[in-house]
């Protein structure tokens, strides 16, 4: 029971049909600081019942409202004062930014367009497909154009006219949506790579419905199209939405080849300038990152992340860093390997020199020096 709040339970007398009849009564049990356990009779009048519920449920709150309002006003003053005192994390009197909430909804609808029937709440029949696609595509186009417009207004010079921005945002939206068939072709190869690469996969449907890598890769492939067209803010909003949902962090700037599979995927990070070839398989906890970020300004826009050639497998916990680092085709990188130099094709990189000792627990307890 929360202190200062009232709660009630109504015990109603019903006829055999389960309907509350005129003339029946109920008792209201009150639990509050002042009237703990008291019982009040009431009629079954809807108005009387509502009045009783409001009084009992909010009585303590109404009595304390003046003190609460006073404290809330004080807290509001303190928070507003902090806005003036602490800069850098305020966005006041500026241009409207793309909405994270809106982009989450748009991204989910894009997944519905890419995987018809897999992200819907009900069965999608073939006879409904064309009108459904028309409606969804129209809705996505309108909403995405609005968010792209906000992103462009944020980034372009003030001299750019609103009419010109409208034309640019519409063109970008239509170009992006025109890429969806090609993105679907790539995702089909990713799904097939997952099915062929994981013996635990029981069906291709299971991979799309349940595997986090397909969702993360799909969103990255979508975001990459916008990133490639230099749309600000939105591509990163999309991939971070997928990162939050899947635990897989794929930068929208990374180049992904066909048949890309991330097994398990939790904690996997692929940096902005990473290039990944075809038929690459990586596991959870893999980092494809930058060697150093000590001088950030000189690194912006430069290749900082590794290149992974075709048919490479990278096992869990491996870290590969640096823009000059190239992993040759058909190589295998073992678990927990740390690389900052290139590896030739057909290589096996593993850790040496780490020993593991297995003891009997009883011997260890009898002699701690064992």
* Segment 229-261, tens digit of pLDDT: 999 999 999 999 999 999 999 999 999 999 999
Among the candidates 66, 84, 102, a domain finishes at: 84
Is there a contact between 186 and 278 (Cβ–Cβ < 8 Å)? no
Is there a contact between 282 and 314 (Cβ–Cβ < 8 Å)? yes
325 closest CA partner among 350, 303, 296: 303
Per-residue exposure over 295-315, b if at least 16 CB sit within 10 Å of its own CB, e if not:
eeeebeeebbbbbbbbbbbbb
Which range has the worst mean pLDDT, 15-24, 69-78, 257-266, 358-367? 15-24
277-296 confidence digits (pLDDT tens): 999 999 999 999 999 877 88
Please name every residue paired with 313 in a beta bridge, in sequence order, or none if there are none: 281, 332
Asked if residue 126 and residue 27 are part of one domain, the reply reads no
**For residue 39, pLDDT beyond 80:** no
C-alpha to C-alpha distance for 305 and 157, rounded to whole angstroms: 31
Q: Could you tell me the residue range of the domain that residue 121 belongs to?
A: 94-248
Is there a domain that residue 124 lies in?
Answer: yes
Asked if residue 259 and residue 243 are part of one domain, the reply reads no
Diameter of the chain measured on Cα atoms: 89
Is there a domain that residue 1 lies in?
Answer: no
pLDDT (0 to 100) of residue 51: 60
Is there a domain that residue 326 lies in?
Answer: yes
Is there a domain that residue 157 lies in?
Answer: yes
SS3 35: coil
Is there a domain that residue 362 lies in?
Answer: yes
Asked if residue 205 and residue 105 are part of one domain, the reply reads yes
Asked if residue 106 and residue 53 are part of one domain, the reply reads no
DSSP state of 275: E
C-alpha to C-alpha distance for 149 and 156, rounded to whole angstroms: 10
Is there a domain that residue 89 lies in?
Answer: no
pLDDT (0 to 100) of residue 50: 62
Asked if residue 180 and residue 166 are part of one domain, the reply reads yes
Among the candidates 84, 113, 133, a domain finishes at: 84
State the average pLDDT over residues 154-173. Answer: 83
23 closest CA partner among 52, 43, 47, 53: 43
State the average pLDDT over residues 159-188. Answer: 92
Is there a contact between 274 and 320 (Cβ–Cβ < 8 Å)? no
Alpha helix positions (H), 118-161: 126-155
SS3 299: helix
State the average pLDDT over residues 134-163. Answer: 88
Among the candidates 84, 114, 140, a domain finishes at: 84
pLDDT (0 to 100) of residue 63: 59
């Amino acid at each position: 029971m929360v202190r200062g709040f009232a709660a009630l339970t109504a015990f109603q007398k019903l006829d055999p049909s389960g309907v509350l009849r005129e003339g029946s009564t109920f008792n209201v049990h009150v639990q509050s600081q002042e009237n703990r356990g008291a019982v009040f009779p009431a009629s079954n009048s809807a108005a009387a019942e509502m009045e009783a519920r409001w009084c009992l449920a909010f009585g303590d709150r109404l009595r304390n409202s003046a003190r609460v309002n006073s404290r809330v006003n004080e807290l509001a003053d303190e928070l507003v004062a902090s806005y003036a005192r602490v800069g850098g994390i305020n966005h006041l009197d500026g241009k409207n930014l793309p909405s994270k909430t809106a982009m989450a909804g748009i991204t989910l609808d894009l997944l519905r367009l890419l995987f018809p029937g897999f992200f819907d709440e009900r069965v999608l029949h073939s006879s409904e497909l064309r009108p459904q696609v028309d409606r969804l595509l129209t809705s996505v186009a309108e909403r995405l154009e609005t968010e792209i417009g906000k992103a462009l207004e944020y980034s372009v010079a003030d001299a750019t006219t609103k009419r010109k921005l409208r034309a640019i945002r519409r063109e970008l939206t239509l170009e992006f949506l025109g890429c969806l068939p090609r993105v679907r072709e790539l995702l089909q190869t990713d799904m097939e790579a997952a099915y062929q690469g994981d013996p635990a996969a029981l069906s291709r449907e299971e991979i799309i419905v349940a595997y986090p890598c397909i969702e993360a890769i799909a969103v990255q492939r979508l975001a990459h199209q916008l990133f490639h067209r230099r749309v600000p803010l939105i591509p990163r909003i999309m991939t971070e939405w997928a990162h939050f949902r899947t635990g897989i962090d794929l930068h929208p700037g990374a180049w992904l080849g066909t048949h890309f599979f991330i097994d398990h995927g939790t904690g996997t990070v692929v940096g902005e300038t990473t290039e990944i070839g075809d038929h690459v398989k990586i596991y959870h906890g893999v980092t494809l990152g930058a060697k150093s970020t000590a001088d950030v300004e000189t690194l912006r826009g430069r290749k900082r992340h590794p290149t992974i050639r075709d048919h490479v497998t990278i096992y869990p916990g491996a870290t590969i860093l640096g823009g000059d680092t190239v992993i040759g085709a058909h190589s295998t990188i073992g678990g927990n390997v740390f690389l900052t130099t290139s590896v030739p094709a057909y290589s096996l990189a593993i850790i040496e020199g780490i020993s593991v000792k297995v003891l009997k627990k009883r011997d260890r307890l009898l002699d701690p020096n064992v």
